[in-house]
């Protein structure tokens, strides 16, 4: 059984902000690929093109951490014990269904317990160790750390939510993962962005990463953004990137990231 190499891409920045991209990965292990149903082979539930969408991170000086393996292998935004995050329909640490509720694997072909334990050890744990280490480094250097968990999803997924999703969906675990005034500053920016709708702690309040690492009382502030994909790409295969849609959306994203940095300097003096 071969080792899993290059589970993620990490770039260390120069400011107290880490951008996490846990669902951007496209790689599959042989066991997962062999068992997928046909409609899953295009990886429809991926957070497509997120590293490209967030290319301003390097210019801003933020650290970035992006998964290389698909959420179908192991979901990096779920807790290790697979405790459910939402009372409504969702997917788990080792997804068994697509977002539309259809089975992810053909009968009897889902990876076994030993194989999944390997994914946990060689993908999930290294990603989270790197995330934790970088936040610790930022806090040691600056006295605080900011975490922006970057996600995207189709604008309409009837099984998961009613109707069309707002364009910008901010989550702060109902106010528990970051300072209240930081979340409000980001919400106001979204409200001012012409042509876009928004929500704060609506259907998406933040997954495991936001909830676990966001500890404002310890000077670690985490926010999740779930972006409706219609704002930067085609939502149907082959899921093409749309520069005409992405450019104005990127401008809002940059404002959000800059606002986090500005807030940190205002509150911590560095």
Q: Tell me which long-range contacts 180-185 makes (C-beta under 8 A, separation of at least 24).
A: 181/263, 182/221, 182/223, 182/260, 182/263, 183/223, 185/259, 185/263
Confidence at residue 161, expressed as pLDDT on a 0 to 100 scale: 84
Both structure tokens of 25: 């990965």
Domain boundaries, the chain: 8-268
User: Which residue is listed with tokens 């957070």?
Assistant: 47
Residue 269, pLDDT score: 86
Global pTM value? 0.95
Closest-CA residue to 83 (of 224, 211, 208): 208
pLDDT for the residue 90: 61
Mean pLDDT by 10 residues, the chain (270 residues): 81 98 97 97 97 97 98 96 62 90 96 95 97 98 98 92 94 98 98 97 95 98 98 97 98 98 94
Cβ neighbourhood burial of 43 (10 Å; 0-12, 13-18, 19+): middle
pLDDT of residue 86: 55
Residue 131: which of 213, 46, 222 has the closest Cα?
A: 213
CA distance 187 to 194: 13
Q: Quick one: fold of 8-268?
A: Aminopeptidase (3.40.630)
């Amino acid at each position: 059984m071969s080792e899993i190499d290059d589970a993620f891409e990490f770039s260390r920045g120069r400011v107290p902000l880490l951008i996490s991209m846990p669902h951007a990965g496209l790689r599959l292990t042989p066991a997962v690929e062999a068992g997928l149903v046909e409609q899953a082979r295009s990886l429809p539930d991926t957070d497509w093109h997120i590293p490209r969408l967030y290319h301003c991170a390097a210019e801003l000086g933020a650290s970035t951490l992006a998964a290389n393996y698909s959420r179908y292998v192991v979901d990096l935004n779920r807790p290790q014990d697979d405790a459910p995050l939402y009372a409504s329909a969702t997917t788990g640490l080792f997804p068994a269904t697509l977002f539309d509720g259809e089975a992810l694997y053909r009968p009897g072909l889902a990876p076994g317990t030993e194989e999944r334990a390997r994914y946990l050890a060689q993908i999930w744990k290294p990603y989270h160790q790197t995330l934790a280490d970088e936040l610790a480094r930022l806090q040691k250097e600056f006295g605080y750390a900011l975490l922006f968990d970057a996600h995207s999803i189709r604008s309409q997924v009837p099984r998961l939510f009613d109707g069309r999703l707002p364009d910008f969906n901010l989550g702060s675990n109902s106010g528990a993962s970051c300072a209240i005034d930081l979340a409000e500053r980001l919400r106001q920016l979204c409200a001012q962005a012409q042509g876009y709708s928004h929500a704060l702690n609506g259907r998406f309040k933040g997954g495991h990463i936001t909830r676990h690492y966001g500890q404002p009382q310890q000077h670690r502030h985490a926010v999740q953004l779930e972006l409706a994909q219609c704002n930067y790409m085609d939502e149907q295969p082959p899921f093409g990137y749309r520069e005409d849609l992405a450019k104005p959306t990127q401008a809002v994203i940059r404002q959000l990231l800059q606002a986090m940095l500005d807030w940190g300097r205002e509150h911590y003096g560095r």
